[in-house]
């Protein structure tokens, strides 16, 4: 019997689900939430839009609480979910299967999965869920998820290149447990393997012409922290500890602006970091941010705002790929960003974000990076490598030097 092996996995915040109850991520299920995927749909895929089990699949049911259409998808309107049995009528051992004929070019079985880290590991170990190929377990949540957080979709790819075109393989998705928690799969695909990291974002960057460049590797660039909440000041400039050492475009990281350079950010803090002013023109309209973040998902976060009145009022601006979640908890309130869309969770690597500022053409703006945390649980934080404003047409460089720009590519 051939055994498929895990080829790669990559944490993606293309979709995440906040908890109804926070302490220890102890919720039993995720709330409704959906954001677009970042990868194209392959020729063969299943997103469970037409039912669970889908047509052509079979189900093995041992408990009234078994696989069904869930409403916490990463793609479309539905996913496949198995919820825990709150009546405790007996153990759950629930499976759905499909037979698939391998085609030329089928290298990987890829899917998204999420569950509750809290209920799956010590001291509870109440449940686990699995993927099998021809009866052999090729993936399980407890062993193979890496985020150590609950209700965050991760992308996984299983190597099936050992099979030949024409081979028929049985793929299974299983749930086993007692007093467990929700398990969900979505966008099951067979074809080429997904890349290890998200593709470069769509949008207006990287720009051909740079009008302004703030490289925090070199200096603090005059960025100014501004209060917007209570608690200790989080923003610091200097040498970071414990984060990736290579940023966008493979540039080494020496200095950054971060919410804490060594250790976790404080609880119940809120502050903005302001740069500018920048004149937005027909040639200079695209904001590029290179950043990394490791933030408590769904409760703490940061976002980007623009001010046209010198910092008196601020308006949220949106990256082309969107923010990760909305901080909509009514009990755990994050200073400065409560109720707003934010970057939250783990980016896994430095990412390039693009913001189209054409609505501000003809105006001088300040750009603010606003961060907030609630009253419990902290993570390393948010780290900014560079801020650039550019475009695709010629424009003279202001507020910087060509030496500073070139340094961003060393």
- The predicted-structure confidence for 232-242, as pLDDT tens digits, reads as follows 889 999 999 99
At residue 308 the predicted structure's pLDDT band, cuts being 50, 70 and 90, is: very high
- Note down the domain range covering 282: 209-407
| Residue whose C-alpha is closest to residue 178's, from 123, 124, 120, 127 | 127
Which residue has better confidence, 3 or 340? Answer: 340
Same domain, 179 and 243: no
Question: Where does the pLDDT of residue 194 fall: very low under 50, low under 70, confident under 90, or very high at 90 and above?
Answer: confident
Does residue 197 belong to any structural domain of this protein? no
Residue 95 in domain: yes
201 part of a folded domain:
no
My answer on whether 363 and 299 are in the same domain is yes
Q: Which of 119, 159, 200, 398 is closest to 283 using CA atoms?
A: 398
* Inter-residue contact 273 to 305 (CB < 8 Å): no
Does 219 share its domain with 148? no
CATH of the domain at 164: 2.60.120.200
| Shared-domain flag, residues 29 and 175 | yes
390 and 261 in a single domain? The answer is yes
Q: Kindly tell me the number of DSSP H helices and DSSP E strands found in the chain.
A: 3, 26
Same domain (yes/no): 254, 396 = yes
The whole-angstrom separation of Cα 48 and Cα 122 is 31
Q: Do 178 and 224 fall into the same domain?
A: no
Nearest one of 65, 138, 53 to 99, comparing CA atoms: 53
Model confidence at 25, pLDDT cuts 50, 70, 90, reads low
Do 135 and 215 lie in one domain? The reply is: no
pLDDT of residue 32: 52
The tally of domains found in the chain comes to 2
Instruction: Encode pLDDT of 221-273 as tens digits.
Output: 999 998 887 778 899 999 999 999 999 999 999 999 999 999 899 998 889 99
The answer to whether residue 179 is domain-embedded is: yes
Helix extents (H) in 267-385: none
Residue 135: count other Cβ atoms within 10 Å of its Cβ.
Answer: 9
Instruction: Give strand ranges (E) for 160-300.
Output: 168-177, 183-191, 209-215, 224-227, 236-238, 256-258, 270-279, 286-295
Segments in 85-148 forming alpha helices (H): 117-120, 141-144
Largest Cα span, the chain? 72
Indicate if 304 and 402 belong to the same structural domain: yes
Whether 48 and 54 have beta carbons less than 8 Å apart is answered as yes
The token duo for 302 is 């940061």
Please, is 247 exposed, middle or buried when counting C-beta atoms within 10 Å of its C-beta (0-12, 13-18, 19+)?
Answer: buried
Comparing 97-101, 226-230, 289-293, the range with the smallest average pLDDT is 226-230
Given 159, 191, 223, which residue is the final one in a domain? Answer: 191
Q: Note the pLDDT tens digit of each residue in 120-153.
A: 988 889 999 999 999 999 999 999 987 677 888 8
Does one domain contain both 25 and 157? yes
Shared domain for 174 and 244, answered yes or no, is no
Residues 280 and 362: beta-carbon distance below 8 Å: yes
Q: Which of 162, 191, 220 corresponds to the end of one domain?
A: 191
Please give the Cα distance from 401 to 407 (Å, whole number).
10
Is residue 391 one of the residues assigned to a domain? yes
> With contact defined as beta carbons under 8 Å apart, do 320 and 212 qualify?
no
Q: Per the domain annotation, does 202 fall within a domain?
A: no
- Residue 262, CA atoms < 13 Å, CB-side half-sphere: 3
Residue 203 counted as domain residue: no
Residue 283 Ramachandran class (φ > 0 left, ψ -120 to 50 alpha, else beta): alpha
d(CA 159, CA 139): 11
Asked if the model's pLDDT at residue 33 lies above 50, the reply is no
pLDDT at residue 76, as a whole number: 75
The answer to whether residues 59 and 172 belong to one domain is yes
* CB proximity list for 309: less than 8 A, separation 6 or greater: none
Residue 199 lies in a domain: no
Last residue of a domain, one of 163, 191, 219: 191
Rounded percentage of the chain residues whose pLDDT exceeds 70: 84
């Amino acid at each position: 019997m051939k055994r498929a092996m895990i080829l790669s996995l990559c944490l993606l915040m293309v979709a995440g689900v906040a908890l109804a109850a926070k302490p220890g991520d102890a919720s039993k299920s995720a709330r409704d939430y959906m954001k677009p995927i970042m990868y194209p749909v392959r020729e063969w895929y299943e997103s469970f839009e037409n039912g669970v089990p889908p047509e052509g699949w079979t189900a093995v049911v041992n408990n009234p609480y078994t696989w069904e259409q869930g409403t916490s998808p990463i793609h479309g309107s539905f996913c496949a979910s198995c919820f825990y049995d709150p009546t405790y009528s007996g153990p759950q051992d629930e499976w759905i299967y499909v037979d698939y004929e391998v085609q030329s070019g089928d290298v990987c079985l890829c899917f998204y999965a999420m569950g509750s880290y809290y209920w799956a590991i010590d001291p509870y170990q109440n449940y686990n869920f699995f993927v099998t190929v021809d009866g052999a377990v090729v993936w399980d949540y407890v062993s193979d998820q890496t985020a150590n957080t609950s209700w965050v979709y991760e992308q996984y790819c299983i190597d099936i290149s050992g099979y030949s075109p024409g081979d028929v393989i049985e793929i299974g998705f299983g749930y086993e447990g007692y007093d467990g928690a929700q398990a969900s799969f979505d966008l099951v695909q067979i074809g080429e393997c997904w890349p290890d990291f998200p593709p470069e974002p769509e949008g207006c960057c990287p720009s051909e012409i740079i009008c302004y460049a703030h490289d925090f590797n070199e200096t603090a660039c005059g960025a100014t922290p501004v209060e917007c909440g209570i608690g200790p000041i989080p923003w610091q400039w200097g040498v970071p500890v414990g984060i990736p050492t290579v940023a966008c475009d493979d540039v080494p990281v020496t200095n950054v602006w971060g919410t804490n350079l060594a250790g976790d950010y404080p609880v119940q803090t809120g502050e903005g970091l302001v740069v500018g002013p920048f004149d937005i023109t027909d040639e200079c309209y695209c904001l590029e941010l290179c950043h990394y973040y490791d933030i408590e998902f769904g409760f703490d976060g940061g976002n980007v705002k623009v001010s046209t009145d010198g910092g008196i009022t601020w308006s949220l601006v949106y990256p082309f790929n969107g923010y990760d979640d909305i901080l909509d908890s009514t009990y755990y309130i994050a200073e400065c960003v409560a109720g707003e869309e934010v970057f939250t969770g783990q980016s896994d690597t430095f990412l390039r974000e693009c913001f189209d500022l054409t609505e501000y053409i003809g105006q001088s703006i300040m750009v603010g990076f606003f961060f907030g945390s609630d009253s419990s649980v902290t993570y390393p934080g948010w780290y900014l490598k560079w801020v650039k404003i550019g475009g695709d047409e010629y424009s003279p460089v202001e507020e910087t030097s060509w030496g500073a720009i070139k340094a961003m590519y060393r």
